[in-house]
Structure 1
Amino acid sequence: MTSDHTPTVVFACRANGGRSVASRLLTEYYAQGHVIALSAGTTPGDHIHPEVAAVLEGLGLDTSRESPKLLTPETIAASDLTITMGCGENCPYVPGATYRDWPLDDPKGQDDATVRRIVADIDGRVRALIAELAPDHELPASLLGS
């Protein structure tokens, strides 16, 4: 990435109600505009998962404007990187696009401790991704206190 280019990452999962939303919100928080974060799903649900919203809100992240969106080939093509999380073969393939898969458990319907563990996993992955994509950006302290 060049210094005058702001990388765009799309986080993709199935329902766009948990993992991808958490990834996008954490990226926006930590990157502070140095990385553009989008999220979408292959079969978007009606709303974000309430158990995920509760954990994210507990970290101080606003989920009130979140609504699931459909993952399109155009979204992938316009991004520098697509991170997939459980959408598997349903994720559109775009020739020339860069994909990475993050094997993450689905937080939908899980208890609070499990959702917190998944969000902590995402937090670490997001922080490493931002350090890679925007190496000159000084990351804020982790919302998880680690």
Structure 2
Amino acid sequence: MPETTRPSVLFVCIHNAGRSQMAAGFLNHLSGGAVEVRSAGSMPADQVNPAAVEAMLELGIDLRDQTPKVLTDEAVEASDVVITMGCGDVCPIYPGKRYEDWKLDDPAGQGVESVRVIRDDIRGRVLALLEELGVPAVDAAR
């Protein structure tokens, strides 16, 4: 049986501190490692948004060890799917890559109640992405 390569997804937002970190956390968790996941930002923050960390911990997904990373051409080139979340045209475009822009509210400066709504929206989008990639979701009941 031929070995299949894992699909790879890059989530990009400006600060890589909220939306992209939550999306990466969900994709890692819900794919059970079947998808290679990256996240980055065009202007990374110093730390992941504490409200995003708290909202994800409520679902058993721990982002406390994550740090915002700078967006590089290499990360885009190494990814099959690039999902932007408000970085506009800062993201480099490479032929043959699939690009999507998810219109999501920015959790920066918002309390955990507001971040939960964004988190749940991201979760639904990640589940749809997994289905499009042909990867069964693990633990999708959460």
Q: Distance in 2 between matches of 1:3 and 1:139?
A: 21
TM-score by length of 2: 0.92
Counterpart in 2 of 1:74?
A: 74
Aligned to 2:68, the other structure's residue is in SS state: coil
Aligned to 1:75, the other structure's residue is in SS state: helix
Aligned letter for 2:60? G
Aligned to 2:11, the other structure's residue is in SS state: strand
Q: Distance in 1 between matches of 2:13 and 2:132?
A: 22
Instruction: Report percent identity of matched pairs.
Output: 42
TM-score by length of 1: 0.90
Go from structure 1 to structure 2 and tell me whether the alpha carbon gap of 1:8 and 1:109 turns closer, same or farther (over 3 Å shift): same
Go from structure 1 to structure 2 and tell me whether the alpha carbon gap of 1:47 and 1:138 turns closer, same or farther (over 3 Å shift): closer
Counterpart in 2 of 1:22?
A: 22
Aligned to 2:108, the other structure's residue is in SS state: coil
Offset, 1:3: 7.3
CA offset digits 1:112-136 (Å, max 9, x no partner)? 221000000000000110111134x
Contact 1:35–1:134 (Cα < 8 Å) also in 2: no
Q: Greater CA deviation, 19-28 or 94-103?
A: 94-103
Q: Distance in 2 between matches of 1:142 and 1:108?
A: 27
Aligned to 2:119, the other structure's residue is in SS state: helix
Counterpart in 1 of 2:92?
A: 92
CA offset digits 1:59-86 (Å, max 9, x no partner)? 1111121000011111101100100000
Offset, 1:26: 0.3
Aligned letter for 1:7? P
Matching of residues 99-118 of structure 1 within 5 Å? 99-118=99-118
Contact 1:11–1:20 (Cα < 8 Å) also in 2: yes
Contact 1:35–1:133 (Cα < 8 Å) also in 2: no
Task: Report runs of 4+ in structure 1 exceeding 4 Å deviation.
Answer: none
Aligned letter for 1:28? N
Aligned to 1:117, the other structure's residue is in SS state: helix
RMSD across aligned positions (CA): 1.6
Q: Distance in 2 between matches of 1:46 and 1:116?
A: 22
Whether 1:64 and 2:59 are equivalent positions in the alignment is no
Offset, 1:30: 0.4
Aligned letter for 2:141? S
Gaps of 5+ in 2: none
Offset, 1:138: 4.7
Contact 2:127–2:137 (Cα < 8 Å) also in 1: no
